[in-house]
Structures are given as C-alpha cells and as structure tokens.
Chains A and B, each alone.
Chain A
Amino acid sequence: MLWLIPVLFVVAFITFSLMHLVPGGPWDQEKQLAPQVVENLNRKYNLDKPFIVQFGNFLWNAVRGDLGVSYSYQDKGVTQILLSGLPKTAGLGVTAFLIAIIIGIPLGIAAALKQNSTVDYISVFFSTLFANIPGFVIGILFIILFSVTLHVLPTGGWGSIKQVIMPAVALAALPAAYIARVTRASMLEVKHQDYIRTAQAKGLASRVIIIRHMLRNALIPVMTIAGPELAALVTGSFIIESLFSIPGIGRLFVQGVFARDYGLIMGTILFYAFAVALVNLIVDILYAVVDPRIRYE
C-alpha cells in the first residue's frame, strides 16, 4: 500500500512535466495578450520561476490540500472547483458500483449454483455482452430509447432519481458483467472444494452451506477486483458525465483540457490518482477482514 505514495509523486511529476513541455504558455488560447500582460500574469502565478521550484511549490501546496489555481475560473481555487463537482461524481460512482454489485453478485451465484441452466446461460450471455461494450454506447442507447423514443426520462442533469438512473446503469453495466463473471467462476471453484463436502457430511442444509461456507470464500476473489473496478468507475465516469451533462469532476476535467487550464488539469489528475489510491487502500483493508489467512502478514 505504501508504494502508492511514490505513485502519486511520479504521476504528479509526469503531469507537471508534460504541462511544461507545451510550447507557449497557458495564455495563448483566447486572445492575443500584450507581452507585458503575459509577463505580469506569469509572475503572478509563479510561472517564471525555475521548474523545480514550481514543482516543489505545487507539491507543498498539494499536500496541504491546495491544488493550485484555475486559470480559467480566476476567482476560484482548483480545490474548491473540484469539491463542488465531487458530490456528483462520487454519487454517480457509488450508485453505479452498488448497482453493479447488486446485479452482478447474485447473478454470478445463481449461475454457478444452477450450472448449465437457463439462468446460467443468461448470465454468461449478459456478462460477455456488457463486459465489452462501453458504458458510453449503452448510455447513448438508453437516451435514444428512454428519452427520445419513450419520453420517460430526461437526457441529463443531476438531482432527481430520474436523472441518476440512466447514467448510473450505463456506468454500472460493464462492472456488473465483469463481477458476475468473476463471481460465477469463483463460486464454481468453491463448490467443488473438499471443505464443502465436509460441510455436507455434517448434515448441514444447502442454504446454510451456501451462505456460511461458500459465499465468504467465493467472494474473496471478487473483492480483489472490486477495488480496481470502483476506482475505474470513479475515474472513468467523465465520459458519462459529459454525455449526460452532469456537472461532476469528470466534466470539469474535460472542460479544463479544452480550455488548456493547466492548473485545473494538474489538480484533477492528482485528485484522481489520490482517489484511486484511497479506494485500493480501503479494499486492501476489507480483504484482510474477510480472509483470515492474510491477516498476520
């Protein structure tokens, strides 16, 4: 887990360097500014200092929670901007994750317990299909179906359940399929373990065996992928946010890239890296809680 700190460092460094490789400064975009103005702006934002100094400043501030200033929203700090978008992105990500789990795990379990039955075939079909079609495409299909054709759901925005449901489900489709597949494979493996036979020989009822003996063992591999999936959800949601006009961090990031707002870009990337690290950390902890074999390592 500790290796995540160097990861953050390297990510910050790479991003920072890339930003500074761009010819011309951040001021080229909108209008031609007089050289004097450019010089003043550069001085104001410390852009005339040596690279190392700038980087050092940035890191120092970042650690204290200040992710710099946004060049396009000149009256707001990056941290502030990100925090305004955070609830939407987090809400979307968590909702999608929950949907993915609620659909994926039971589907996988049912498919494994009733191998080669209808449920199994549906589950495998569903997993294969949705594991490979991006949420973006699914989202578009949803919009066309539910908004344009059926007029039951709005095409975007954020706030009401009706606005949440399409983006969340579109985002959840891929993780759900993947989770279903992993759960099924894992349950199948657990089903044939010796200790399940022992449990049967003790006269336990099937339901007890499934819940008490099989599930915890089967869910361990599922947890190892759940973490990266959640992280991917949080960071990959930006395209869904753009599609559904959700004012979350993703969309802010996209706008920042468009506007060459390096402050915002840097801050967002660092923020994403941190979010990924945090999620993985939480999953590692949960993993130790669930699997007693790795607790004392």
Chain B
Amino acid sequence: MAIAIEATRPHHSLWGDAIIRLKRNRFAVAGAIIIFLITMLAFLVSVFSPYRFDQQDLNAILQGPSKAHPFGTDDLGRDVLTRLLYGARTSLAVGIFAQFIVLIIGIPIGAFSASASSRVDNFIMRFVDVIYAFPDILFIILIRSILGGSIYMMFLAIGLVAWVNVARLIRGQVLFQKQRDFVIAARAMGASERYITIKHLIPNSLGPVIVAVTFNIPRAIFAEAALSYIGIGIKPPTPSWGTMIRDGYDVIFAAPYLVLFPAVAIGMLMLSFTFLGDGLRDALDPRLRR
C-alpha cells in the first residue's frame, strides 16, 4: 500500500514567504550586505573621517595608499577614501531619489492608462513605446543639458526618462488584476473604480514594481557617473565617482588608483543592486511559491 504522507507547511504571507526565499539566495544576500555597508559608511563618514571631502593638503599630493590615507590622495591632496564615501552618498542619493520621480510619474500614468478607454490606453502606450525605443542615456543628457546642474535636476532628468518601465509594468499588472475575482467581488459590493484601483489593484502590483525599481537604481547610478565623467554631471566640489574618474584620468599613469577605486566602487554597487534585484524577482514570483 502506498503510504500517503500529508505534509503540513506553515502558512506564510506573500511577503513573509518572499523574505525567506530571498534569504536563501546567497548572491542577493551578499548584494544586500554590500549595499548596507556602503550606505552606513557613506552616512557615517563625516563622523569618523578626520578629513573633509574638500580638504586640500598640498604637501601630500598624489600619494599612494598609506596609513594616513588608506586609499591615497588626489592631485590636490584630498583624501581619496573620504571623497569616495561622499561620492557614495551622491550615487546612492541619485540612484534612490530618482526612483521617487519614476514612481510619481510612472504609477499614475500606468494606472490611468489601464483604467482608461482603449483608445486613450493605446495612445499612451505608443508614446511610451517611443520613449522606450530610444536610448535613454541620450535623452537624459539632453534633458540635463537643458535643466541645469543641480543634483535635484539630476534626479528629475533621470526620472523623466526611466518612468516608462514602471508605467508599462503597472498598466500590465492593473489590467491583469482587474479581471480577478476579488476585484469583481469588490465591484459587486459597490466600490468605485478609483477606490478599487487605489486599495486593491496597486498594492497587488507592488511586487514587480519593487523589482523594477531595484533594477532601475544601478542604471541611475551609472547614468549619474557617466554624465559626471563627461562633465555635465554633479558640479564640484561635491564629490561624485564619475567626476573623480574624470579628474583622476589626467594622472592615470602616475596614480592609477585615483581612477581604479571609483571605477570598482561603481561596478560593485551596481552589481550588488542587480543581485538583490534578481533575488527579489525570484522571491516575489508567485509561481515559485512552494
């Protein structure tokens, strides 16, 4: 006789289950740890660093890593490690705050498009397709060159181009959720369309949006670094990894570390967010729930 074993599993909510699965993904965990460490260090640099990021010491120009300056000094005698961590602030700020713009623009447009008539929806989606088809970094450069140099404008420039992903995603999700049973039930109970959209559809669509945003962050970080490298990014003296590369490139043969550290930092931070995003995507995929 075949023995049937009835296994009982503890019941998890979608989020609880997701966290458990996420913890199992070693790359995602590593990424999250690195992000956390960099963020903490960036926050606390003003506390434990003996230098200010713009503090020049013309007696200590272009020194390699030493006890006094663990990552060396640049051509104006500024401590590289300190500048690197302040640069982390810039990168993280741009990466994360640009996403607010993305969400503020993307979610309403996506939700609206999904709830609107099909002609309006089509029109909006064509428009989105156009922006999507075009290389985003060029647009960002264009917008940036118009809007000017402050960091807030940087958020705006990146956000104005990156919202399309989220809008599309939300629209797809809303359209999908709209025909699910609990929505029909809510409607039958007399709820208005707007109520349904806000209280039911959007929260249920959050999963993919979180993943999309997590993937957007490294792209924003890269955009900022690239723009700063070209020269239309963050204005000095605010440190930015891109600017550090630009400045350090002139003396690359004498002091390659000036370029190496920021480049590696960019790569590591981007990679960490991507691993985290991969992990989140797998963790939040309802089809993989066991």
Contact = CB atoms under 8 A, between A and B. Distances in A.
A–B interface present (Cβ within 8 A): yes
Interface of A: 3-4, 6-7, 10-11, 15, 18-19, 21-22, 128-129, 131-134, 136-137, 140-141, 143-144, 148-149, 155, 231-232, 235-236, 238-239, 242-243, 253-254, 257-258, 260, 265, 269, 272-273, 276, 280
B134 A276 contact: yes
Interface string B74-109: 000000000000000000000000000000000000
Nearest to A7: B130
B204 to A, nearest CB: 28
A6 B226 contact: no
Given A18-B146, A22-B146, A276-B134, A137 B263 contact: yes
B266 interface: yes
A236 B218 contact: no
A136 B142 contact: no
27 contacts: A7-B130, A11-B130, A18-B143, A131-B274, A133-B267, A136-B225, A136-B226, A136-B266, A137-B266, A137-B267, A140-B245, A140-B260, A141-B263, A143-B252, A232-B135, A235-B137, A238-B137, A238-B138, A239-B137, A239-B226, A243-B229, A254-B230, A258-B231, A258-B232, A260-B145, A269-B138, A276-B133
Contacts of A22: 146
A11 B270 CA distance: 29
A254 to B, nearest CB: 5
Contacts of B218: 132
Interface of B: 27, 126-127, 129-130, 133-135, 137-138, 141-143, 145-146, 218, 222, 225-226, 229-232, 245, 252-253, 256, 259-260, 263-264, 266-267, 270-271, 274-275
B256 A235 contact: no
A238 B142 CA distance: 14
A188 B156 CA distance: 42
B270 A18 contact: no
A136 B253 CA distance: 18
Top 3 nearest A-B pairs (CB, nearest first) are A235-B135, A132-B274, A140-B263
A242 B246 CA distance: 10
A133 B253 CA distance: 24
Contacts of A3: 126, 129
Given A4-B133, A7-B129, A137-B267, 6 more contacts: A137-B263, A144-B256, A239-B226, A257-B141, A257-B142, A269-B138
Of the candidates B142, B218, B222, the one having the most CB atoms from chain A within 10 angstroms of its own CB is B142
Contacts of A276: 133-135
A34 to B, nearest CB: 26
Contact of B259 (A18, A140, A236): A140
Nearest to A258: B231
A18 B142 contact: yes
Contacts of B264: 137, 141
Contacts of A231: 135
A223 B26 CA distance: 32
Contact of B130 (A6, A242, A254, A260): A6
Contacts of B130: 6-7, 10-11
A239 B271 contact: no
B266 A134 contact: yes
A134 B270 contact: yes
Contact of B137 (A10, A129, A236, A280): A236
B142 A236 contact: no
Contacts of B232: 257-258
